Chain A
Amino acid sequence: MLVRNIFFAVVLAVAPVSSAFASGGDTPTPPSQSWQFEEGLFGMYGTYDKAALQRGYKIYREVCSSCHSMKRIYFRNLEALGYNENQIKAIAAEYTVEDGPNEEGDMFDRTAIPSDAFISPFANDNAAKFANGGALPPDLSLITKARANGSNYVYALLTGYEEAPHGADLAQGQHWNKYFAGHKLSMAPPLMDGQVTYEDGTPETLEQYSRDIVQFLTWAADPHMEARKKAGFRVLVFLILFAGIMYAVKKRTWADLH
């Protein structure tokens, strides 16, 4: 009892101090948005909204892909967004890839097919840095897993551009972002109202764009989420039933002791 009281006393004494310092840091925590892929207790019923994924992909294609690669995603993966085989072939065919060597030993260009990965905007990291004032635009295939609280963070970043505070020392090509560590972000605000045309009547606002691209990127980082959660549900139901049976077996086994 004494130990427990000491424990709580220490926790209570430390808690307000530590929270004061946590908020004392000048990069705010990204606010939590409500996402369809996180629905239910612990995100248990979360699913991807295919229409949002398609809109997000459109934004990636028209805006992000001019600087950011997504080299772990293949055109064939787009099936998960609700496209059929012919649509995927048509999308891939808009791109050319270098292939080879052919029988004569030469490299050649051909149109992309569904088994190709997304085409990177730059040949290599150095080319990407050179074109972007020395900053490397990260590959986006895993971005929501590679950042703490990834989906909320990317949303906060895209909507977090602000006027730089007075006295902030921004170098050329840097932009003030509330949620970026150190605030000086080399990426110019990538999205603005009305920039990408939606055919389904969804509002063409920065917030909506950001929501859609985040859902697309979350899918890209975690394409098996729906299968995982579905399997998890079955596994847990099975285990809980099994546990119930084993509880009865254990009780019964031990019942005959004196």
Chain B
Amino acid sequence: MGSGPREEFDNPVVEWIDSRMPIFTMLQKEYGVFPTPKNFNWFWNFGAIAMFMLMTMIVTGIFLAMHYTANTELAFDSVERITRDVNGGWLLRNIHMNGASFFFIAVYIHIFRGMYYGSYKRPRELLWILGVVIFLLMMATAFIGYVLPWGQMSLWGATVITNLFSAIPFVGEDIRTLLWGGFAVDNPTLTRFFALHYLLPFVIFAVVFLHVWALHVTGSNNPLGIDVKGPQDTLPFNPYYTMKDIFGLILFIIVYAFFVFYAPDSLGHPDNYTPANPLVTPPHIVPEWYFLPFYAILRAITFNFNIYMLAGVALLAVFMVEFIWRHSPKYLGKSAGIALLVIGGALALFGLLAGFNQHWTIPFTDMPIPLTSAETSPISAKLGGVLAMFGSIGLLVILPWLDNHPIRSARFRPLFRIFVIVFTFSVFVLGYAGSQPADRVYWSTCIGDAQACEVLAHGAGHGAAAHHEADAGAEPLVLKFDNTMLAQAFTGVYFLFFLIILPLLSRFEKGRELPTSIHEAVLAKKQKAGA
């Protein structure tokens, strides 16, 4: 981008501009001859696709804003008017509302690619962090955008999410009031959300610019995860990757267009076609599909974080940093490590179990275990849920340091590969758990007296069973697996992956031998295919 020596252009107009502001030189350098690894697979298309989706959202959004009215009395009607009476309005709205989903699909695949091939690792940490910032901004923008049509899910989704902020100690209530512009989700909320929904995409655009800038400094990663060693490893971006990106983009748009034209409402919730009503709560409030994994993590924290749990986790964290993350402990000896591991693990496990079983007592007495109640726990279940939800994204920010294994690509790290796939699977399960009612029971069984089980299953008034209640023996034991437990189990997998598995793998995984260069690997593959 600087003003170094410049090659002249043949076209006099281009040359006139370029000699005064070398924009064509810059384009030529960054998008024309920009050296790009020659071994990209199709996963590398999704950055360009996400860029296309951002532009699509901004363009359709501006036209929608020309017809939209940000007022609780008029918003729903104005959106309906757009789809019914504005010329081509139905198309604009379908493109925009499904565009949000497809933007997230592109970005999720893009993030997966980054994780699988280790694109977050040195020297691309900042590039990755800027990407996480874009992801957070997208989530804010999409959430706010879903509020604008002012349907039932708009109002109640906004109510649930803005109420989360009140869990933050000291300033939470004030933040919530600031978001609301009053004392409930109402007209001031809608108007400020509209203003922010128009602003944030341009902020995203600015951060995308920084993201691409950082990319053009370090160059792209590639499926082998090894550095580019020379010109024989790369191709000029144009025409090789411009043409490949356009082809991939068209395939993506075909799927997108299918939804826009043949299933425009399938990704939304029917309740949002009922105008918002503060007096009627929908039976089952769910966010848009792309938030479901995080919503499941939020709802999974149904227990208070008591002091034992936090102390245990703190000791374990010291162990992880000293003995696993640092390859040789700096401050502590071996016996201290064992003590940290044993005491920390025991405390954390005890705290967790006590948090789940509030009825536990000190053995041989009926005194409850001290410091496990909601009042004496430093972090309440509600705050814990909020911290877990934001923490699940916050972990992405520090991912480059959680995983400091020298090999980037999962292709050469068989163990990492398995775990990253398990992790991805757990995100899908969390998404499913987020879509289901919290109390949904997947499996249950009753062990004990058949009659007593009957009473439990159908209520005391059920037929003859009621008579047996008095003489029923021991209380039957009910085992069940419900949606909250599913979410808890996979929230555990999510956090264990980042906090335990990745540091352990960084320390102990051997990995396979890396190819000497991209060029040789491509040639070897070609020969194999030809033979």
Measured CB to CB, the residues of A under 8 A from B are 2-3, 7, 14, 17-18, 21, 42-44, 72, 77, 138, 141-142, 145-148, 150, 181, 221, 223-224, 227-229, 231-233, 235-236, 239-240, 242-243, 246-247, 249-250, 253-254, 257-258
Contact = CB atoms under 8 A, between A and B. Distances in A.
A246 B250 contact: yes
B523 A258 contact: yes
A115 B265 CA distance: 28
A165 B442 CA distance: 28
The main secondary structure of chain B at its interface with chain A is helix
Contact of A18 (B263, B274, B442): B442
A145 B91 contact: no
Interface stretch (B239-247, B318-326, B337-345): B239-247
B63 interface: no
**Which 7 residue pairs are nearest across A and B when measured between Cβ atoms?**
A232-B261, A146-B273, A246-B247, A145-B273, A243-B250, A224-B90, A142-B273
Contacts of B283: 181
B252 to A, nearest CB: 10
Given A224-B90, A246-B250, A253 B442 contact: no
A239 B253 CA distance: 8
Given A17-B442, A21-B441, A239 B254 contact: yes
A232 B262 contact: yes
A247 B42 CA distance: 13
A169 to B, nearest CB: 13
Contacts of B418: 2-3
B57 to A, nearest CB: 18
Given A247-B247, A253-B239, A236 B442 contact: no
B213 interface: no
A252 to B, nearest CB: 9
Contact of B257 (A145, A235, A253): A235
Contacts of A246: 243, 246-247, 250
Interface of B: 38, 77, 80, 83-84, 90-91, 94, 235, 239-240, 243-244, 246-247, 250-251, 253-254, 257-258, 260-265, 270-271, 273-274, 283, 418, 421-422, 425, 440-443, 523, 526
B190 to A, nearest CB: 20
Contacts of A147: 270
Contacts of A258: 523, 526
B254 A72 contact: no
Q: Helix, strand, loop or mixed for chain A's interface?
A: helix
Given A18-B442, A254-B240, A239 B257 contact: yes
Contact of B264 (A17, A138, A228, A239): A228
A224 to B, nearest CB: 5
Contacts of A21: 440-442
Contact of B91 (A17, A141, A228): A228
Contacts of A146: 270-271, 273-274
Given A3-B418, A146-B274, A224-B90, A229 B261 contact: yes
A56 B270 CA distance: 23
Nearest to B419: A3
A14 B91 CA distance: 39
A72 B442 contact: no
Contacts of A3: 418, 421-422, 425
Given A243-B254, A250-B244, A236 B261 contact: yes
Given A3-B425, A150-B270, A246-B247, A42 B262 contact: yes
Nearest to B261: A232
Nearest to A254: B240
A60 B506 CA distance: 68
A243 B262 contact: no
B262 A142 contact: no
Given A232-B262, A243-B254, 6 more contacts: A42-B263, A147-B270, A228-B261, A229-B262, A250-B246, A254-B244
Nearest to A233: B261
Contacts of A227: 90
B247 A223 contact: no
A14 B442 CA distance: 8
Contacts of A181: 283
Contacts of A242: 250
Contacts of A239: 250, 253-254, 257
A72 B244 contact: no
A236 B258 contact: yes
A138 B244 CA distance: 51
A257 B325 CA distance: 43
Max count, chain B CB within 10 A of own CB: residue among A2, A44, A229, A246: A246
6 contacts: A146-B270, A229-B261, A231-B91, A236-B258, A236-B261, A254-B244
Contact of A249 (B83, B243, B254, B274): B243
B91 to A, nearest CB: 7
Contact of A7 (B80, B253, B261, B425): B425
Nearest to A146: B273
A224 B523 CA distance: 54
Contacts of A17: 442-443
Contact of A145 (B247, B260, B265, B422): B265
A250 B246 CA distance: 9
A154 B258 CA distance: 26
A62 to B, nearest CB: 25
- Which one of B84, B265, B523 has the greatest number of beta carbons of chain A within 10 Å? B84
Contacts of B253: 239
A18 B481 CA distance: 11
Contacts of B422: 3
Contacts of B94: 228
A110 B379 CA distance: 65
Contact of B270 (A148, A232, A233, A235): A148
A242 B258 CA distance: 15
B100 to A, nearest CB: 18
A237 B265 CA distance: 22
A225 to B, nearest CB: 9
B243 A250 contact: yes
B270 A253 contact: no
A52 B250 CA distance: 39
A254 B403 CA distance: 35
A203 B323 CA distance: 81
B257 A232 contact: yes
Of B80, B250, B254, most buried by chain A (CB within 10 Å of CB) is B250
Contacts of A250: 243-244, 246-247
Contacts of B526: 258
A156 to B, nearest CB: 15
Contacts of A142: 80, 273-274
A236 B257 contact: yes
A223 B271 CA distance: 19
Contacts of A254: 240, 244
Contacts of B257: 232, 235-236, 239
A104 B239 CA distance: 72
A141 B240 CA distance: 51
Contacts of B443: 17
B270 A145 contact: yes
Given A2-B418, A142-B80, A150-B270, A253 B250 contact: no
